[in-house]
Amino acid sequence: MGYFIQGLILFVPLIITGFILLRLFDFFAGFFSFIGFTESTILNALLGLLLTVVFVLMLGLLASSFIFQSVFNYLEEKLEHVPFIRHIYSPVKDFTSAFVGNKRKFNKAVLVLTNPAAQIQEIGFITKDDLKDFDIKDKVAVYLPFSYSLAGKLIIVPRELIQPLKSDAGDAMKFVLSGGLTDKD
Using a pLDDT cut of 70, give the percent of the chain over it: 79
Tell me the pLDDT band of 78, cut-offs 50, 70 and 90: confident
| pTM reported for the whole predicted model | 0.56
- Which tens digits make up the pLDDT trace of 10-22? 666 667 777 777 7
More confident residue, 117 or 65: 117
Closest CA to 126 of 106, 112, 146: 106
Task: Please give the pLDDT value at position 185.
Answer: 60
Residue type, 55: F
Task: Please give the pLDDT value at position 139.
Answer: 93
Task: Please give the pLDDT value at position 26.
Answer: 73
- Which tens digits make up the pLDDT trace of 118-175? 999 999 988 888 898 899 999 999 989 888 876 888 899 999 999 999 888 878 888 8
Q: What gap in Å lies between CA 172 and CA 26, rounded to an integer?
A: 33
